[in-house]
A and B are shown apart, each in its own frame.
Chain A
Amino acid sequence: MLHRLAVAALILALPMLASAAPRSQGLTPVEERPPAPDFNLEDMEGEFHQLSEFRGQPVIINFWATWCPPCREEMPSMQRAWERLREEGVAMLAINVGETPDTVFQFTANYPVEFLLLFDLDSAVTEKWPVRGLPSTFVVDPEGRIVYQAIGGREWDDPELLQPVLDLRSE
């Protein structure tokens, strides 16, 4: 009888154990590797940047907005990731969707970041990328193709998450 109760209790506990397990986070490979749409966007200083400037190195491109809670949540880990990646030949940039540099300037007082922030004021660039929600992040390989994507926030300083990006340098 005790054995039966133990089995039943274990089975009853399985869904709770599953929900308590740490949630996986990762990058999804984009099998078809489409060419990443180029852009020409302004940064905080008013200088324009094209994606093609970064050809030859992996690029992490994050689409975000200040009013998006998971975007705000992942910003500090993106900064920590950038502190490692900038020494490793990987570029990182974040494209703000629909807000002004003034708004983002105020935001960065509380969320200081050193990677490149670009402005897609009319959302036209965002519409050309396969963005379905914010935040969405894409990894572009040195040949300018989208090779990974992540929808929703991540802990970007997780070494397991960054390793596939670093591996792109030697492909």
Chain B
Amino acid sequence: MRFVLAFTLLVTAGVAAEPDQRVNPETGLAGWEWQDDAVSITFNQRLPDQSRAYFQGRGFRSEEAEQIAQSCVFQVILRNHADASAPLQLDLADWHVVPSGGEPGPLRLEPGWQVEWEQRGVAQGARIAFRWSLFPTVQTLQPGDWNMGMITIGLPPGESFDLEAVWRQGREPRRVRFEGMRCAPDREI
């Protein structure tokens, strides 16, 4: 009996730690999701064309929107649904992108983009929209809180990579590796 219990616990722990991949039948875009009893993380591909349209609509010039579109944009949804008082703290600077056959590197983060936008004289309204459209670099989510935003992976369209997401739940460090993720290809919406 003890063996069965230990085995099933081991199996379920493995199931809980495995991100789930699915494809939206209407758009053909892929998404990756992982959850346990305290947190859920979802990454959804965004087509380069979606990013072009979105950021031009927020006041970016076409060449600037193109630069974002070519940087592999994902939508992230992160929920802290822990019952106990366990705040979820994260800093995207601690996350790693591991390109297929390449070395781990950082995400391209919002503060770095802002330096470039300022140098290129991007309109203030566009920079404000960019700031609040991207997933916050540093944040704390209390139980019941959730957030949604974009991240830029910094790879060309169609590239494959693994993503290592890390955070802290209460005092416990957490880490999940999303394997076999892929930037959306550059095709029309």
Flag if B12 contacts A151 (CB, 8 Å).
Answer: no
Give the residue name and chain of the A residue nearest to B133 (CB).
A67
Contact of A151 among B4, B5, B83, B146 (CB under 8 A): B146
**Partner-contacting stretch, out of B121-129, B166-174, B176-184:** B121-129
CB distance from B1 to the nearest CB of A (A): 7
Instruction: Say which size band chain B's interface belongs to.
Output: 35 or more
Q: With A14-B12, A15-B37, A151-B142 as given contacts, are A65 and B132 in contact (CB-CB < 8 Å)? A: yes
Flag if B139 contacts A7 (CB, 8 Å).
Answer: no
Q: With A98-B129, A133-B139 as given contacts, are A12 and B144 in contact (CB-CB < 8 Å)? A: no
Bound Cα distance A70, B77 (Å): 11
Q: For A8, what are the chain B residues with a Cβ–Cβ distance below 8 Å?
A: 4-5, 7-8
**Partner-contacting stretch, out of A17-25, A34-42, A87-95, A105-113:** A17-25
Flag if B129 contacts A67 (CB, 8 Å).
Answer: yes
Instruction: Say which size band chain A's interface belongs to.
Output: 20 to 34
Flag if B8 contacts A7 (CB, 8 Å).
Answer: yes
B 1-31 binary contact with A (CB < 8 Å = 1; else 0): 1001101110110011000000000000000
A2 is an interface residue with CB less than 8 A from chain B: no
- Residue in B57, B125, B146 whose Cβ sees the most chain A Cβ within 10 Å: B146
Which residues of B (83-120) have their CB < 8 Å from a CB of A?
83
Flag if A123 contacts B131 (CB, 8 Å).
Answer: yes
Q: With A26-B144, A122-B128, A151-B146 as given contacts, are A12 and B139 in contact (CB-CB < 8 Å)? A: no
Flag if A15 contacts B12 (CB, 8 Å).
Answer: yes
CB distance from B60 to the nearest CB of A (A): 13
B159 is an interface residue with CB less than 8 A from chain A: no
Flag if A123 contacts B128 (CB, 8 Å).
Answer: yes
Q: For B139, what are the chain A residues with a Cβ–Cβ distance below 8 Å?
A: 132-133, 151
Flag if A152 contacts B81 (CB, 8 Å).
Answer: no
B147 is an interface residue with CB less than 8 A from chain A: yes
Flag if A4 contacts B147 (CB, 8 Å).
Answer: no
Bound Cα distance A153, B145 (Å): 8
Q: With A11-B12, A132-B136 as given contacts, are A152 and B35 in contact (CB-CB < 8 Å)? A: no
Q: With A12-B15, A65-B132, A133-B136 as given contacts, are A24 and B37 in contact (CB-CB < 8 Å)? A: no
A 97-122 binary contact with B (CB < 8 Å = 1; else 0): 11100000000000000000000001
Bound Cα distance A19, B37 (Å): 7
Contact of A24 among B1, B11, B83 (CB under 8 A): B83
Q: For B125, what are the chain A residues with a Cβ–Cβ distance below 8 Å?
A: 98-99
B148 is an interface residue with CB less than 8 A from chain A: yes
Bound Cα distance A7, B5 (Å): 8
A56 is an interface residue with CB less than 8 A from chain B: no
A28 is an interface residue with CB less than 8 A from chain B: yes
Flag if B15 contacts A15 (CB, 8 Å).
Answer: yes
CB distance from B90 to the nearest CB of A (A): 11
Bound Cα distance A4, B138 (Å): 45
A44 is an interface residue with CB less than 8 A from chain B: no
Nearest first, the 10 A-B pairs at minimum CB distance are A98-B128, A152-B146, A28-B142, A151-B145, A8-B8, A18-B37, A133-B147, A132-B139, A26-B144, A132-B136
Binding site for B on A (CB under 8 A): 4, 7-8, 11-12, 14-15, 18-19, 23-28, 65, 67-70, 97-99, 122-123, 132-134, 149-153
A sample of 13 inter-chain contacts (CB < 8 A) reads A4-B4, A7-B8, A8-B5, A12-B12, A28-B145, A97-B128, A98-B132, A132-B140, A132-B147, A133-B135, A133-B149, A134-B132, A153-B146
